[in-house]
Homo-oligomer: A and B are copies of this chain.
Amino acid sequence: MDVELSARSRQILEAIVEDYIATAEPVGSSAVARRHALTLSSATVRNVMANLEEMGLLTSPHTSAGRIPTEKAYRFYVDSLVALRRVSREEKRQIISHCRQSGAGLSGILKETSRTLSQLSNYMGIVVAPSFTSDVFRHIEFIRIGQHKILAILVSSKGAVQNRLIETDEEIAPEELIRMGNYLNEMMQGLTINQARERILAEMKSEKAQYDRMMSRALRISEQAVTVENDEIFVEGQARILDQPEFSDAARMKEIYEAFEQKGIILQLLSRCMTADGVQIYIGSETSLSRSAGISLITSRFVTSSNTVGMLGVIGPTRMGYSSVIPIVDYTARMVSRLLSEA
């Protein structure tokens, strides 16, 4: 698919893409000739543009308008044209300080990161927390809330906390809760939450559990506790998307917002990014988000000390400022990885 292009064609394509990114309006031959200070006349540029159109890199909304890049052009642009900007000192400062200032544990850091991404990119920031279930178990605690209610608190070795309210049929004495806790803490030592869950299910079937009342009860309750919800997702800066001119169309916007209210969609979308290293870029239909919407996605994964991976990135229109957003995402992912590995 990577077409051979002459140096000049590439230059012109680059100019068109960048112009369009800047203005969101179809760019014409003369604009390219002028702005880019090539020693070329508009007529020549026209010829080249006609070529590029034939190759499926440009389209014109109608005959007498300028041309706009196709998805293919963006792809080509990010693959081989874009000159990545450096992350400025100020941007670095913001990324780092925002990470640090948030004292509220993992969730806090990630939420803040999401906001930072949004601020720096002027698009939507998005962070998917590392899957809690593949994190290493650290501690479980039961706290009696009401007669038939127990709060189970589950802590991972990274300091992520999940809590769950559990209803019990019978009342459970405080001493028993403590014993249950001790028993389970020992049992799950060193396992990931996922493994712990399997272990519990296995134990429940064991012979011993059939006779030991306390044990069977403990297992039943902890099984609920360990069945944690979906991963956390942080999306910030939804308002910013309104800055983009092509989103003035309210109907389209609504589509996107609604997509984001069902976080499931995002998760599915992002799960693929988890496997690959480095910055991933999905353009338009590659995102498999609502086909029509012209959305692009730039992501990178980050890792934690316990080798679980999360995902962060930016969502914006296809014509987003790749040259600055890509480095920002990259840098942020590195910083978050480093910060979380310190622990």
Are A149's CB and B159's CB within 8 A? Answer: yes
Interface contact A104-B165, CB-CB below 8 Å: yes
**A164 surroundings in chain B (CB, below 8 A):** 103-105
**Once the chains bind, are B151 and A153 in contact (CB under 8 Å)?**
no
Q: What's the nearest-Cβ distance from chain B to residue A158, in Å?
A: 7
- The distance from the CB of A300 to the nearest CB of chain B, in whole angstroms, is 24
Partner of A165, one of B103, B247, B258: B103
Q: How far is the CB of A121 from chain B (nearest CB, A)?
A: 15
Once the chains bind, are B159 and A161 in contact (CB under 8 Å)?
A: no
In the complex, are the beta carbons of B163 and A145 less than 8 A apart?
A: no
Other-chain contact of A149, B248, B254, B257, B343 (Cβ < 8 Å): B343
Residue among B104, B138, B165, B247 making CB contact with A229, cutoff 8 Å: B104
Could you tell me if A161 and B153 are in contact, using CB atoms closer than 8 angstroms?
yes
Q: Which of the candidate stretches A1-9, A200-208, A231-239, A276-284 sits at the interface with the other chain?
A: A231-239
Copies of this protein chain in the complex:
2
B141 and A141 form a contact (CB under 8 A): yes
Is A250 interfacial (CB 8 A cutoff)?
yes
- A237 contacts B261, C-beta separation under 8 Å: yes
Q: In the complex, which residue of chain B has the Cβ closest to the Cβ of A305?
A: B146
Q: Is the interface of A mostly helix, strand, loop or mixed?
A: mixed
Residues of B within 8 A of A242 (CB): 250, 253-254, 257
What 1/0 flags go to A115-157 for Cβ under 8 Å of B? 0000000000000000000000011010101100101010101
Q: Are B139 and A105 in contact (CB under 8 A)?
A: no
CB-CB < 8 A to A250: which residues of B? Answer: 242, 247-248, 250
* 9 extra interface residue pairs, beta carbon distance < 8 Å, beyond A242-B250, A242-B254: A104-B164, A138-B143, A138-B145, A145-B158, A238-B238, A238-B257, A238-B261, A239-B257, A243-B254
CB<8 Å pairs between A and B, sample of 19? A103-B164, A103-B165, A104-B163, A104-B165, A105-B151, A105-B164, A141-B153, A145-B158, A145-B343, A153-B153, A153-B155, A153-B161, A161-B163, A236-B261, A238-B238, A238-B257, A238-B261, A239-B261, A242-B257
A→B interface (CB under 8 Å): 103-105, 138-139, 141, 143, 145-146, 149, 151, 153, 155, 157-159, 161, 163-165, 229, 236-239, 242-243, 247-248, 250, 253-254, 257-258, 261, 343
